[in-house]
Chains A and B, each alone.
Chain A
Amino acid sequence: MGSSGTSNGLISAREAGLVACQRCGQVHAQGVRNCKRCDGPLQSRDTESLQKVWAWLVAGVIAYIPANLYPMLLTNTLVEHSESTIIGGVVDLIHHGSVGIAIIVFVASVVIPIGKFIAVIYLALSVQQQSSSNQHGRHHAYEMVEFIGRWSMIDVFVVAILSALVQLDTIATINPGIAAVSFALSVIFTMLAAQSFDSRLIWDADRTQNE
């Protein structure tokens, strides 16, 4: 526990010939297939991790494009019919004077998804290039991505509540637009991308270089 932040003096479980269960933390000798305690599959490194990460990530980015181009909300009132996109909704909130809420929606629907794309691309590339720089920073970045990604769903739930609530016959109705579907898909795909990333790969780079 008293070690400084460098990884030089530490050895990984893999180097010690051990493998830890990702589910319950039980340590086994390498080569054991299933955890003796929780029966979860044991794998020292997920060799297909990066393939899965790239596949889910590309799917997430593709779904994010129509999510921004098409309307999230279709509003009908007595006098007008309007459609608002993600960005349009944020602008409307600012016009109503709810700057704080506008910031929450903007962060959840734009900043977090795009930040997540960039973070996952950076993590995957750095592992592919066997970079050994800033390992702790990258680990923090990974934890952040995993923790924060699900909060992007806010906008989908806002659409669900508004569409259910505002159904006043002819006076005003709100219905969900197709962007809600593609946005939800994008969030789900990027959550799967983050979950597929095997963060233990970060620690391998300098081992192979030092040997």
Chain B
Amino acid sequence: MMTSQPAAMARIISLALTAFVMMIAAVSFPFLTLDAKGLHNATSVVDAVLAFNEGYAIPLAVAVAFFIVVIPLIRLGALIYALGPLVREQPPRAGAKRAFGLAERLRPWSMAEIFIVGVTVALIKVAGLAAVTVGPAFWAFAGVVIITVLKDQMICRYSIWEALEHPTA
């Protein structure tokens, strides 16, 4: 790991960038569509968040938006910000340590993978009732989950703290 650290960092960064772009696709495209008895309803990830739109449930809509979209994006952005210069063997940016600390602290609150399992359960519940078609955003979201898991497995946080403290060591 120490011998080819910029290479390892470059791999982490490229995965984080990929996940970031895919997450934007996952939010923009239709996620699932439902057809039953001539009626049609297309749903995006944003619609799923807005399902909790009745007075008392609005805080939950905000929380769900954070858990499945905002926090994963913040984590990816913070990681790219903190590690970007290290790949080019430049000194870290100001606040790089704080950004990486934030990405680490938010880890348990990033629930994209749990959301995908929830979607699977929901699909099975609806399957008997109507025809459900899976849209491009579904695959983009699944991609985000897989890439994030790969990326988190590649991160050795102690090595990164080390690298942020002693750049170009």
Contacts and interface: CB of A to CB of B under 8 A. Distances in A.
B51 A181 contact: no
A119 interface: no
Interface in B99-146: 100-101, 104-105, 108-109, 111, 114-115, 117-119, 121-122, 124-126, 128-130, 132
B20 to A, nearest CB: 21
A56 B78 CA distance: 29
A38 B114 contact: no
Contacts of A23: 101, 104-105
Contacts of A161: 32, 43, 48, 51, 118-119, 122
Give chain A's interface secondary structure class: helix
A58 interface: no
Contacts of B68: 157
* Count class of interface residues, chain A: 35 or more
A166 B34 contact: yes
Contact of A158 (B43, B57, B118): B118
A153 B121 contact: no
Interface residues of B, number: 50
A37 B48 CA distance: 41
A188 B129 CA distance: 32
A36 B79 CA distance: 21
Interface stretch (A42-50, A97-105, A131-139, A202-210): A97-105
A164 B101 CA distance: 35
Contact of B51 (A38, A163, A172): A163
Tell which of B60, B100, B111, B158 has the most Cβ of chain A within 10 Å. B60
A166 B108 contact: no
B52 interface: yes
A93 B125 CA distance: 7
Tell which of A101, A158, A163, A165 has the most Cβ of chain B within 10 Å. A165
Given A165-B132, A166-B126, A180-B57, A160 B121 contact: no
A188 B122 contact: no
23 contacts: A25-B157, A25-B158, A37-B97, A39-B101, A40-B101, A98-B124, A104-B117, A104-B121, A146-B108, A153-B67, A153-B118, A155-B118, A157-B111, A157-B114, A159-B51, A160-B118, A161-B118, A166-B41, A166-B129, A166-B130, A176-B52, A184-B64, A195-B108
Given A26-B161, A172-B36, 19 more contacts: A24-B157, A37-B97, A39-B101, A96-B128, A153-B111, A153-B118, A155-B118, A156-B118, A157-B68, A157-B119, A160-B118, A161-B43, A162-B125, A165-B32, A166-B34, A172-B130, A178-B56, A181-B59, A184-B63
Interface of B: 32, 34, 36-37, 39, 41, 43, 47-52, 54, 56-57, 59-60, 63-64, 67-68, 97-98, 100-101, 104-105, 108-109, 111, 114-115, 117-119, 121-122, 124-126, 128-130, 132, 157-158, 161, 164-165
Q: What 6 A-B pairs are tightest by C-beta distance, nearest first?
A: A157-B118, A163-B51, A24-B161, A161-B122, A164-B47, A168-B39
Interface of A: 23-26, 37-40, 92-93, 96, 98, 101, 104-105, 146, 150-151, 153-169, 171-172, 175-176, 178, 180-181, 184, 188, 191, 195
